[in-house]
Amino acid sequence: MLIDTNIDDFKLRFAEEKDVPLILEFIRELANYEKMLNEVVATEEILKESLFERKMAEVIIGEYKNKPVAFALFFHNFSTFLGRPGIYLEDLYVKPEVRGRGIGKTMLSFLAKLCVERKCGRLEWWCLDWNESAIEFYKQMGAIPMDEWTVYRLCDEALDRLAMEFGK
């Protein structure tokens, strides 16, 4: 089902299983833009399982003149302080040739609307420190950087080692 937006010829839709190759293509384009392509290990099989079998996240696709030009991948998190869920935006990507048309803002606006409809308390995401144009864009919409928080990550061998500690 296509969702109309306030931009002529731009519509949104929730991704379907048949979109897995497209989603992976968007992920790779975003990773390339962020100079992190070598970190992408996702495959179509992994995405199919995670997104459509286990339903761990959702994806919206933005289509301009019936051509996919943007995507956003998001999932629910939870704020214990608010006692309510939130939406965490993992990735938002707009193809370079259609940037500057309001597509990114429209996609964020849709996610904010989804937040309100789902009674979520927050819409959150991370942004790379060097991406000054994105930071300025987010601030113009009223987003506030959470500078006092530091992100920590366990992965690969460190994750495995800690998991092995359970039950010893």
Would you say residue 17 has pLDDT above 90? yes
Report, as residue numbers or ranges, the catalytic residues: 138
Q: What is the CA 100 to chain-centroid distance, rounded?
A: 19
Q: What is the pLDDT of residues 23-57, one digit of tens each?
A: 999 999 999 999 999 999 999 999 999 999 999 99
Burial (CB count <10 Å: 0-12, 13-18, 19+), residue 19: buried
pLDDT of residue 167: 79
Burial (CB count <10 Å: 0-12, 13-18, 19+), residue 122: middle
- Give the chain's mean pLDDT: 95
Q: What is the pLDDT of residues 102-144, one digit of tens each?
A: 999 999 999 999 999 999 999 999 998 988 988 999 999 999 9
pLDDT of residue 108: 97
Q: What is the pLDDT of residues 52-83, one digit of tens each?
A: 999 999 999 999 999 999 999 999 999 999 99
pLDDT of residue 102: 95
Q: What are phi and psi of 110, to 5 degrees?
A: -65, -40
In the chain, % of residues over pLDDT 70: 100
pLDDT of residue 66: 96
Tell me how crowded residue 92 is: count the other CB atoms within 10 A of its CB: 22
pLDDT of residue 122: 97
> Which among 165, 77, 59, 163 is positioned nearest to 126, based on CA atoms?
77
pLDDT of residue 74: 98
Query: How far is residue 78's CA from residue 86's CA, in Å, rounded to a whole number?
Result: 6
3-state secondary structure the chain: CCEECCCCCEEEEECCHHHHHHHHHHHHHHHHHCCCHHHCCCCHHHHHHHHHHCCCCEEEEEEECCEEEEEEEEEEEEECCCCEEEEEEEEEEECHHHCCCCHHHHHHHHHHHHHHHCCCCCEEECCCCCCHHHHHHHHHCCCCCCCCCCCCCCCHHHHHHHHHHCCC
pLDDT of residue 168: 73
Tell me how crowded residue 25 is: count the other CB atoms within 10 A of its CB: 13
CATH homologous superfamily of 3-165? Gcn5-related N-acetyltransferase (GNAT) (3.40.630.30)
